[in-house]
Amino acid sequence: MPDEALARWIEVEHLHYAYPDGFEALKGIDLAVAHGEKVALVGPNGAGKSTLMLHLNGINTPAHGTVRVAGMTVDRSTVRRVRAEVGIVFQDPDDQLFSPTVFDDVAFGPLHMGIPEAEIHARVDRALAAVGMAGFERRLPHHLSLGQRKRVAIATVLSMDPSVLVLDEPSAGLDPRGRRGLIRLLLELPQTMLVSTHDMRLVAEVFPRVVVMDDGRVVADGPTDAILADDALLEAHGLERP
């Protein structure tokens, strides 16, 4: 893989998107994330963070502009391969975990990617071990704590072996212990990450780079230290220092 491609593993150019009711959620996003980079996406509710994330694996299709991931332009013909490359974890684990058992859920991705069953078992084991949930295969999602469900939700995309992890507010609603566990997990996982969050302490601890979004635009993009030190910027976009 040429260096240029690795440096622009995720590449969003002039992305515009409006919802069917006419609401313009994205007004020209430009963003590039390098392979292995961990980037936090912050900004007030309604800034367009979730809408942007849904473009990265082709759930939403851009009105204008392009999205490229791992060298593929996201469109109808590449969408299946892109989804194998980008694992999105939704905010509410009850949306992410829709199967009767933990095993079924973690196996869902690989199974629908057409991976042979013998390998699926190995992948499920690896994914659950990676999030510290080995041994929970036969458990039912609604018998797990929120922290455990969030971990399993991450495992459901790890089993697809993606190069990019996109997480929507992973620390929301977690108690301090669950949060610590999550931070350790995010630091350990080697994937390229784009994580939307309101949790500025999480940002400070895990992410070297921050992208600030407001009103459908990227309003700041830079090293975490610099952004978190810019009180005027934080104030202007309803954010706070950790």
Partner 1 sequence: MRSSASAGSSGAAAPLAADAEATDLINLDRYVERDSALHRADARFKFILAIVAIVAISLLPTASWVALAIAWAALALLSASSGLGPFRLSRGAFFALPFMLAALPLVFTRPGDIIATIPIGPVTLSISGQGLQEFATIALKSWVSVQVALLLTFTTPFHDLVDGLRALRMPRIIVSTISFMYRYLAVLSDEAGRMMRARASRSAEIDGHGGGTVVWRMRVVGGMVGSLFLRSYERSERVYAAMQSRGFQGDLKHMHGRPLDASDWTFFGTMAAGIVAFVIAGQVWLPHA
- Sites of contact with partner 1 (CB under 8 A): 54, 57, 59, 80, 83-84, 87-88, 90, 92, 94-101, 104, 107-109, 111-113, 117, 120, 138, 140-143, 145, 156-157, 160
Buried b (16+ CB within 10 A) or exposed e, 41-50: bbbeeebbbb
Nearer to partner 1, 62 or 212 (CB): 62
Enumerate the β-bridge partners of residue 223: 209
Would you state the torsion angle of the CA atoms of residues 116, 120, 126, 127, taken in this order, to the nearest 10 degrees? 120
How far apart are CB 206 and partner 1 at their closest, in Å? Answer: 22
How far apart are CB 221 and partner 1 at their closest, in Å? Answer: 25
Nearer to partner 1, 23 or 98 (CB): 98
Nearest to residue 47, comparing CAs of 206, 230, 228, 219?
A: 219
How far apart are CB 12 and partner 1 at their closest, in Å? Answer: 17
CB 152 within 8 A of CB 97: yes
Nearer to partner 1, 80 or 184 (CB): 80
Nearer to partner 1, 73 or 145 (CB): 145
CB 148 within 8 A of CB 133: yes
How far apart are CB 209 and partner 1 at their closest, in Å? Answer: 24
